[in-house]
Amino acid sequence: MSSEAIATSPEFQALPSNGAPALGSLAPSHSSALSAADDRTLIERAQAGNRAAFEVLVQRYDRQVLRLALNVLGSAEDAHDVYQEAFLKIYRNLHRFRFECAFYTWIYRIVTNVCLDHLRRRNTHPEEQPPVLRAVSSDDRRDGDFFDHQPGTGAHSDPEREVLGHEIGREVEAAFQVLSPRERMVFEMRHYQGMKLRAIGDALGTTEETVKNSLFRATRKLRTRLERLR
């Protein structure tokens, strides 16, 4: 789901705009100026009711949010649901952000809570959940398979290598399933989002030492499961 989908959703449209221009109604020069603005400027404008400023914020962070949800939940459908729910919560609570921490830390705190709530609902009512599959579209995968980035080894250029790449991918996905939700979040934030341990702790509402222990356990579990790939 894109930022445009959030912008056109009934829930978003029902939120007050305080007279700000509707999303998509700005002139190109105005839109370009917003895109070049820093987070603080955009946040302050969005807090004043400027929906266009909020959409620029969504566009800046939507890839990280979707990837985090996808890796934690293991389902593209669930990840998109969490993506939309999280950004609606961010919009509704933006007036409470007081610049006491980094904006991305505040966002991740909301996203991780939504992910954990979703997992709790899934565990409470498993019969209502669709099968969890890692069939992710090319738009969701973003980065593609490792071998797609190698010279002369794109899709269909070497069938044997392509099969090997998919097998490795399945092994990695299976290894991730042995991690707890919190371990998956910590591993994702550290190694894929590049966040510092203290920032991860702030986002998860825990200490840096706890994050370090979770990361150690996650790494040990993954190393054990992936030993046979050597």
C-alpha pair distances (Å), 173 with each of 44, 69, 155, 184, 230: 40, 14, 20, 11, 16
Among 139-143, 177-181, 206-210, whose mean pLDDT is lowest? Answer: 139-143
Query: What does the pLDDT read at residue 28?
Result: 45
Confidence check: pLDDT of 51 > 60: yes
What secondary structure, in 3-state letters, does the chain show?
CCHHHHHHCHHHHCCCCCCCCCCCCCCHHHHHHHHHCCHHHHHHHHHCCCHHHHHHHHHHHHHHHHHHHHHHHCCHHHHHHHHHHHHHHHHHHHHHCCCCCCHHHHHHHHHHHHHHHHHHHHHHCHHHCCCCCCCCCHHHHCCCCHHHHCCCCCCCCCHHHHHHHHHHHHHHHHHHCCCCHHHHHHHHHHHHCCCCHHHHHHHHCCCHHHHHHHHHHHHHHHHHHHHHHC
How far apart, in whole angstroms, are the C-alpha atoms of residue 154 and residue 159? 10
Among 95-99, 189-193, 209-213, whose mean pLDDT is lowest? Answer: 189-193
Closest CA to 4 of 64, 67, 56, 75: 56
Query: What's the CATH number for 1-131?
Result: 1.10.1740.10
How far apart, in whole angstroms, are the C-alpha atoms of residue 162 and residue 167? 9
Mean of the pLDDT values across residues 139-154? 41
What percent of the chain has a predicted confidence (pLDDT) above 70? 61
Residues 61-103 have pLDDT tens digits of 999 899 888 888 888 899 999 999 999 999 999 999 999 888 9
Closest CA to 201 of 192, 189, 211: 211
Reported pTM: 0.63
Mean predicted lDDT score pLDDT of the chain: 74
Domain positions in the chain are 1-131, 149-230
Confidence check: pLDDT of 39 > 50: yes
Rounded to the nearest 10°, the torsion over CA 140, 63, 76, 220 is: 100
User: Most confidently modeled of 22-36, 88-102, 147-161, 213-227?
Assistant: 88-102
Query: What does the pLDDT read at residue 20?
Result: 42
Query: What does the pLDDT read at residue 174?
Result: 75
What percent of the chain has a predicted confidence (pLDDT) above 90? 29
Among 97-101, 117-121, 126-130, 206-210, whose mean pLDDT is lowest? Answer: 126-130
Report whether CATH 1.10.10.10 matches the domain 149-230: yes
Among 22-31, 86-95, 181-190, whose mean pLDDT is lowest? Answer: 22-31
How far apart, in whole angstroms, are the C-alpha atoms of residue 221 and residue 62? 29
